[in-house]
Each structure stands twice: as C-alpha cells, then as structure tokens.
Structure 1
Amino acid sequence: MKTALLLMAALLASCSSTSSSTPAVTSASERSTLSVAAESRTMIWNGVAVEGGRVFVSGPRWTGSKGPSVGVLDKAGQPQPYPSAAWNEPGRDPAQSFVNVNAIHRDGDGHLWVIDAGVSGFGGPPVPSGPKAVAIDLRTNQVVRVYPFDARIAGPGSYVDDIRFHGRHGYLTDAGRPGIIVLDLDSGAARRVLDGHPSATAPSNRPIIVDGAIVKAPDGSPLRVNADPLEVSPDGKYLYYASLHGPWSRIETRWLDDASIPSTDLAAKVEPWADLPPTGGTAMTANGDLYFGDLATNAIKRRTAGGTITTVLQDARLHWVDAPDIDEDGFIWLPTPQMDRVALFNGGVSNVDQPVRLYRLRVK
C-alpha cells in the first residue's frame, strides 16, 4: 500500500508539472485529432507562435479584438499582455507600443518578431512611427530592437503584413501597397523591391470565396489583399510569396539581398512557383512541406517539396485559418479568427462565432 501511494504521488506530481508549463487544454490522447488548445471571447487572434511550452497569439485591433495585441496564454489558456502591458496599451507612443499587429513569427534564434502594420485601421493610413518590426528576446521577455518603417517604406496604402528570414536579412510582404520589403537586420536599413509587380499584386479574377460567398471589402467590392503569405525555402535559396489570392512566385534570396541590382533586372528574376488557392496563412517544415489553409474549403492542405498537394483535414471549424505555426513536437497550431465575419466586412455587424478558438493538430 505504501508503494502504491508513493507511485500515485509521483504520477500526480508529474501531471502537475506538465500542466504548469503548457497552457493548452488538450491531452496526449487527443493529438491525432483536431483539438481545442485555447479559446477567447475578447481577443480575435490571427497569428500564433509556440516556443518552449509557451503559446503566443496576436491580432489587429481593427477586427474588434478587445484583448491585448500580443499575448502569451496563461495556464487557463487566456491571453496575457506580452512582452508587457505598456506595449499593449492603446493610445501610447506608437514608436513604443503596438498599433495594429498583423503577425508574429519566431526566427529560430530565440526571438519573437512582432509585425505591426501601424495603420489607423484596415485600409487606413499608417500612423507616424506606427509601422515597425519588433524583436523580443524570448529568454528575457524584453524588446531588444525596434525596426521602424518610415513613409518611404510603409507609405500611404501600405499594410506591412508578415516576415521571414535568411541570414542577416528579413523579408516582409506589403498587403496594401504591393511589394516586398528587404530588411538588413544589422544596419536596420530597409528597401522596397518588386513594387507593383504582378507577383505581389492581387489579381482581379481570383476572388476570396469562403462558404460559397465572395468576401467583400467595406465598400462592397470584392476584397483584394496584395502580397501576403511568404516562406523561405529550407536551404535559404528562395523566397516564396504571393498575394492572398495566389498564385505563388519565387525569387532567389541572393538577388533580393543585393541592393545594387536595378529594379527592372530584379523583376526579371521572378519565377512562377505554385498555383495555390486563396489562403489565410502558411507554415513550412524543414523538409520543404508547405502547410496552408484553403479558405474556400475550410481545410488544411499540404504541398510537398515535389509539388504534390493533399488534404490534411477538412472541417467546418477551420473557418478562415490564419497564420499557423508548427511546434517542435509535430503539432500545427491553427488560429481561426473568422476574418470574413468581423464587423468591418459585414456592414458594422460582427458575425464572428464566439468564442474564437485556437486549434492544434498532429501532422508529423
């Protein structure tokens, strides 16, 4: 009996240790199916990043989100302001606080990057000192550097969207004023390339369709989102990118990194890559598999490095999966902000099915 009690105590201690380090509410037995990791009735999250047992979420305020712009989930799965309450406080100096965060991303070097479109609202002008990339040290939970984008880089019409890395360069998409931003991580200098190039521009003949209906902009026209999803190939050779609508293109990073190449010559280096459907976001594995949300079918799909596309899971709950993340344990984390249902795109009336959920699914 004494031995049994000791074994039971050890088991309970082990379970307690696991729950204290993981905010998700799923169990190991559920990992082969779609499971709810967290949910919120205040924050509408469209981005997720998972690192060391911590789950970070983010979302722009223009969706109607009432929670922090960037949060870390606590033990109950609720977002707490990250890296501080001050950075998440509306109305503060936009150079030192979040305005409208569109994406978060881990760089593989111990940093969480926050991409702040810095706009007054969806389709609104950038706020002075608002557009920026913010690097946070995940070991100290401190902002280590802010990369501001002035009006030359993020001017009227811009909506700085997301970031990926290779070497000492970051690459960002501009979903408003179509183009790619190349950021020197050492000097902080930024350049715009492929401005207005067809590969970065939303086509007029590929509408965003969700649940059989065309998603409309606030003015009633079909919503068009320019350069949006992007990935860097595992070997760092290529940047893959597209408008939200697709199709995808690629360009070698060596050309993007060379500031001496004239814009016309750079445009000639762009190649077609993959004809993918409209997607809310993507994640790429070390072997080159691309996971993406197919907005029209409420599905997660996988494109192998060889070009084969398969459906991983189709489920009505996966309504507008946005920027996902794949963790070290082989789970893909899937935020579902239901962007097409927010009040902005529905005459001021929110049709978001509450609570907003974050799912996870075993993929490897």
Structure 2
Amino acid sequence: MKKIVALLSAIVLCSCGEKTKKEQPKVDSNLQSEAVQSIEEVAIFKGQQVTGVTVSDKGRIFANFPRWRKGVPFSVVEVNGKDGSYTPYPNKEMNMWEIGEEVTPNAFVGVQSVVAFENILYVLDTRSALFEPILDEPRVFVFNLETDALVNIYIIPKGVAKPNSYINDLRVDKKNGKIYFTDSGAGGLLVLDIVSGKSKRVLGDHPSTMAEMDHLTFDNGQWNNTINSDGIALDTKNNKLYYHALTGYSLYAIDTEVLASDKNPIHTEVQFIKKTGAPDGMIFDDKGNLYLADLEHNKINYLTPSGDLKTLLEGDVVKWADTFSIYNGFLYYTNSRINEVKGEISEIEFTINKIAL
C-alpha cells in the first residue's frame, strides 16, 4: 500500500479554480499509538465514484457505487486489502443491471450503502438511479459471509418508502432486533424489525430530519443541493441512535427504546446534541467517540463522550469523507469527492483510505 500523496483534481457542481497550495495532512496525536502512523490508500477506483465502505469482523472489505450516472460497471465489490484489487460481489450477475433495463427482484439497482455486522453483509439498495424517483420498492439484500449466500431480502414497502425516498444508510440494533435507516430524499427515519421484516417511518418532515441549508460552501465554490437526514450512528453503550442532515449543522439523537416501541408520536423524545460541521457518514468506536466529517473544511472530526468536538484529520487527504468503518484499530473512510464532480469522471480517482486510531 502507498502512503497518500494528496492531489486536487476536478472542479465541481460550481465552476471555480484549483487550489494552488497543497495542504499537509494534520493528524490528532492524542489518538495515535507510539508507533509511527500513516494514512494509507487501501484501494483506488479511477472513474468509479465509491461512496460506501465496510469491513467485516474477519477483515473482509466491501465497497459500493451508486448509479448516479450511466455506465456504472458494478454496484458492490470486495476489495483485497493487500493489493487494492477488487471483484464484483457476490457475483457479476447481480451487478449487471444498467439504467433503462427492466428491474428484476435480485439485481442491484442503486446501492448506496454496505454494512457488515456479525459476519452478515447488508446491502442497501435505494432502487433509485440518476437521483430520480424510485423504480421499485427499496430493499436490503442480506448475505451470509461464511458462505456468501443471499439469505434474505428485506423489502421496504410503498408508504414507508415515498416516491422521492433515497434510503441512505443503516445501522443494526441487535439488542432490540431492529435496523434503522435514514431517508435523505423525503427526510425521516425508518425502523425495520429483523424477525418480521415489517417497517415503519418515523420523524418524517420533523425539523431534526430535514435539511437546514440548500447548499454547502467549499474552497472551490458552492455545492447546491438540499439533502435531508443522512448520517446515522448507533451508540450501543447508551442505547441512542444519532443522526444528521447532510446540508445542516445540527446533530440529533433519540433513545433506541423509543424507536423500537409503538409510541406515537415520538417527536418529543428527540434530543439536540450539538452543532457540528456538515457531515455525511458517522460511526462510533468502542470508546464512545463519534466520528463524522466536516465536509466543507476537508476534515474528519470526532465527538468525545464528554461532548468535546475535536479534529482527527484534515487536509487534502480528506475529500468528502462519505462513509466510515472501523477494524483492527484503523478508521477506514471513502473519498467520494462529491462536491468536485461535474460531468465526465473517467480521469478522477476515488479512494478508500485508512488511518490508525
């Protein structure tokens, strides 16, 4: 693996010039061990925009690529952590669907997230392509990583999923037997029962799940989009689900006991936590630190259990840190470069990186 040499590339949804001075990565030494640490590239995807990454309990690495444009050759891959090579997962057939074709039940259409939990891989398919209304009911494909067999498909029915839903990310709550989702399109949270497969929508149109802004601002200009509830993280020690709109600066939480119950309405149980930078994905480590990006400032921050917001990493090695995963003392993150992309992406490199904690 190579140490990252940061580069600034393509200009984005707004037209602006390149940076003329490269920033050196800054790393929080408080989270470093005594050994010399480095940021490493795990995989490079030239011309393929990666958003999600997850690492299983046994170190298997998976990544996903949403169909935000035509010509996406695969939705899910398994990455070789030794040399960065990758192959479609679980096979080529499930990854072969293309925009304009008939939607079939077992084909990946618009995969936005992959999450490995206790040797199970959950593949979240929005069933949306090109940011258009859903073509089919969103679903979660469930794979047993011992056999790589597809063992279940959870369907999120119409009504729970709205025409403009974009089911963004998920977390598995083993204690309560639930899976929680954010909907960054319609705004709201979804709760799915693992045993029955039944799901419900909560906090739809609630201020905590709705965007606060219609844009974000970067050094190279303004990124104009309104993205609702997006980042999601489960605090298993305190039994709270944290969530955050992408175009917004407010972090919220709610007790999982409330989400798992039949209590309605639940909006009185929402807890405002803290003002933060605008993030995408979020994750807790086993010490209770919550990692989340500050997209506009090329940072990965973390919120400590005592409520202090600190910076782990900043600089050109962070280019829209979309998703996080933690394995064996390393924080893995994707550089999705969403604010940079406009038009042709064939020469842009999107990466999975990791940094020792």
TM-score with structure 1 length normalisation? Answer: 0.82
Shift in Å, 1:50: 1.3
Supply the distance in 2 between the matched residues of 1:268 and 1:200 (Cα, whole angstroms): 14
Q: What SS does the aligned partner of 1:231 have?
A: strand
Of 92, 99, 118, which residue of structure 1 is paired with 2:109? Answer: 99
The answer as to whether partners of 1:102 and 1:115 remain within 8 angstroms in 2 is: yes
User: Structure 1 224/211 Cα, relative in aligned 2: closer, same or farther at 3 Å?
Assistant: same
For 1:101, the aligned partner's letter is: V
Cα-to-partner distance string for 1:140-185 (whole Å, 9 max, x where unaligned): 1111111111211112110001101222101000000011100000
Partner of 1:35: 40
In structure 2, the partner of 1:292 is 292
Q: Deviations over 1:225-258 (max 9, x none)?
A: 1010011112252111111123011111111111
> Partner of 1:215 in structure 2?
223
- 1: CA distance, partners of 2:71 / 2:329: 29
2:144/2:150 contact within 8 Å kept: yes
The aligned residue for residue 281 of structure 1 is 281
> Within the alignment, does 1:84 sit opposite 2:78 as a pair?
no
Instruction: Write 1 or 2 for the structure with the bigger share of helix.
Output: 1
Structure 1 match to 2:250: 247
Residues 225-240 of structure 1: pairs in structure 2 closer than 5 A: 225-235=227-237, 237-240=239-242
Q: Which residue of 1 aligns with 2:54?
A: 49
- Higher-RCO chain (CA-CA 8 Å, sequence separation at least 6): 2
- Conserved 8 A contact 2:40-2:353: yes
Note the C-alpha offset of 1:31: 6.7
Q: Of the two, which has the highest radius of gyration?
A: 1
Question: In the alignment, which residue of structure 2 is the partner of 1:71?
Answer: 77
* CA distance 1:353–1:304, change in 2 (3 Å): farther
CA contact (8 A) 2:123 2:140 kept: yes
Where 1:87 maps in the other structure, the secondary structure is helix
Asked whether the equivalents of residues 228 and 242 of structure 1 are also in contact (C-alpha less than 8 Å), the reply is yes
Q: CA deviation at 1:316?
A: 1.1
| Range with greater deviation from structure 2 (113-122 or 350-359) | 350-359
Task: Tell me the CA shift for residue 63 of structure 1.
Answer: 4.8
Q: What TM-score do you get using the length of structure 2 for normalisation?
A: 0.84
State the Cα distance separating 1:65 from its structure 2 match. 6.5
Secondary structure of residue in 1 paired with 2:339: helix
Q: Is the 8 A contact 2:160 2:201 kept in 1?
A: yes
3-state SS of the aligned residue for 1:96? Answer: coil
Q: Which whole-Å CA distance do the structure 2 matches of 1:70 and 1:25 have between them?
A: 23
The answer to whether the Cα contact below 8 Å between 2:103 and 2:136 also exists between their aligned partners in 1 is: no
Question: What is the aligned length?
Answer: 320
Between the aligned partners of 1:310 and 1:212, the Cα distance in structure 2 is 24
Unaligned runs of 5+ in 2: 5-33
From 131, 136, 141, the counterpart of 1:128:
136
Higher strand share: 2
The two structures, once aligned, show a CA RMSD in angstroms of 2.2
